[in-house]
Amino acid sequence: MPEVSVIIGTYNAEKYIKETILSVFNQTFKDFELIVVDDGSTDNTVRIIEDMIKPPHKLVIQKNQGEAGSRNTGLKIASGRYISFLDHDDLYSPVKLEKLKKFLDENKEFAMVYANQDYIITYGSGNNWINWSFAAENNGSGDIFIKQFIENKIHIITTMIKRECFEKTGEFDRTMNYASDSDMWIRVSANYRIGYLNESLAYYRLHSTNESLDRETCLIHRIASMNKNYRLFNDRVKGNKEILKAIRGLYYRLIKLYIKRGEYKTAWKYFKEFQSAR
């Protein structure tokens, strides 16, 4: 059994996937399995992966289920004691697995650890990220449940989690694909202590595809996650002013988006939902 399982979900990633996989193979820590789940790619992604992946590493090909579905598939076959995730266009630092595993081995009170990430701006798209904040943000270590509920400051590519956590928290929620990682960290932090390592151990790539993420769906999924977890952990969060402020802030941004588009009926629908929020 490997110590670590690394899960990569891919979809039409022919431009980046080779570099992404190499960043895993070039780790200083070697006792890992790599599980690549292709989520219905229609380009040359699978062919590139097949040329790179040999046992004990695995390639799984499935119909499109989104990021959450890919990660769930990887979790079902992962055998490592620890789980790490990587997106198909991002990279690990060479010491990412070594440093995070060492932290968890030496700090038994934590079931998960996360770190910082740096950014790679793809040539030709730099002007589109002019207002992007590159400051390292975190929610610290320990019982960070309330902080994590209010605002997600954990990027999935910087994490390592004990596999046993998922037995308690369940899978990534496919109904809120754009918020499935932050939704998971709320559930993990509700049940376990989370550690933080103040080092940059992964690289998030900024390019023309992820800059155009569907802002509307991101907000809808984030609201759905907040509402779901407010009900699920009501005894711990009911009446928390900062959490209520965060939920209402998301509604405000969504309503403003619809008004700007002239979609007043949809704006009114979410305004009524907003009014009844807590």
- Over residues 216-233, the pLDDT tens digits come to 999 999 999 999 999 999
Q: Cβ atoms within 10 A of the Cβ of 212, count?
A: 9
Residue 195 has pLDDT above 60, yes or no: yes
* Averaged pLDDT for residues 100-127: 88
Residue 213 has pLDDT above 60, yes or no: no
Residue 207 has pLDDT above 90, yes or no: no
pLDDT band for position 214 (50/70/90)?
confident
- This prediction's pTM: 0.93
Of the candidates 166, 172, 159, 220, which has an alpha carbon nearest to the alpha carbon of residue 68? Answer: 172
Residue 256, strand partner residues: none
Domain range list for the chain: 4-207, 215-275
Topology (CATH level 3) of domain 4-207: Spore Coat Polysaccharide Biosynthesis Protein SpsA; Chain A (3.90.550)
* Averaged pLDDT for residues 29-40: 98
* Averaged pLDDT for residues 64-81: 97
- Dist. CA 47–CA 14, nearest whole Å: 9
**What does the pLDDT read at residue 134?**
63
β-strand 32-38 against 4-10: which pairing, if any?
parallel
- Dist. CA 146–CA 126, nearest whole Å: 35
Region label for 273, one of left (φ > 0), alpha (ψ between -120 and 50) or beta (otherwise):
alpha
Residue 262 has pLDDT above 80, yes or no: yes
**What does the pLDDT read at residue 212?**
43
Q: What is the DSSP secondary-structure string of 201-222?
A: EEEEEE-TTGGG--HHHHHHHH
Non-local CB neighbours of 262 within 8 Å, separated by 6+ positions: none
